[in-house]
A and B are shown apart, each in its own frame.
Chain A
């Protein structure tokens, strides 16, 4: 049927929301993240990226909801209500903003691909921090399924997570 065909192409399927990659790198499951808060999905389900580039872009069209003054993590609420957290590195709150630069502020409306943060990979690694970057759907409970696309090399704006209503 024509309807099925359109659905296969990704048109008109209101039950699916695609979250794009905010960073270039290699994806892995949250179970591989060496921090129980992510491993145990206490902040929600999602995926992690081992970054190969120090740029974070918006993974969806949405609004910046949280940007800590330490700039190590940013939260964006998508147009369709998905609450995302991008946490650049583990325990990097302790760097207190060093090696991070923000290009947006809380309340800003952004389009997928807009530059949000820049971070200095070598600088952060030289201080002994793991730069693995969890991308979390904080309101996971609202959805029937959160499907991470793990084991891929991704560029910014490649498919990262598929959310089913």
Chain B
């Protein structure tokens, strides 16, 4: 796949009892911050920058909520894979 010409999108349903509180928000941003791609996080109608701690916390994702992350840029595939791994392991 040619970098930057497409967009990676992944959906994930939160299984963690406590949802995205401060700690997972910090760790998620630590992951997304490693990539140059533009990354967003969305729940329902709220869509925010997934490299912003406040942005990630503001969506208020709780157990059972579905979140959507998009990655767009030259390293979008790697970013998407890293995010998928992070979510599976932590949330």
List residues of A whose CB falls within 8 A of some B CB: 37, 42-44, 65-66, 68-70, 73, 75, 77, 83, 85, 87, 93-94, 138-139
Contact = CB atoms under 8 A, between A and B. Distances in A.
B52 interface: yes
Contact of A73 (B21, B30, B52, B60): B21
Contacts, number: 52
A93 B58 contact: no
11 contacts: A37-B23, A37-B27, A42-B27, A43-B53, A68-B57, A70-B18, A70-B21, A73-B22, A93-B18, A138-B52, A139-B54
A77 B57 CA distance: 13
A24 B60 CA distance: 29
Contacts of B21: 68, 70, 73, 93
A143 B25 CA distance: 21
A83 B58 CA distance: 12
Contacts of A85: 22, 53-54, 57
Contacts of B26: 37, 42-43
Given A42-B30, A73-B21, A66 B52 contact: no
B55 to A, nearest CB: 9
Interface residues of B, number: 16
Interface string B28-51: 011000000000000000000000
Interface of B: 18, 21-23, 25-27, 29-30, 52-54, 57-58, 60, 62
A93 B53 contact: no
A83 B22 contact: no
Contacts of A93: 18, 21-23
Contacts of B52: 83, 138-139
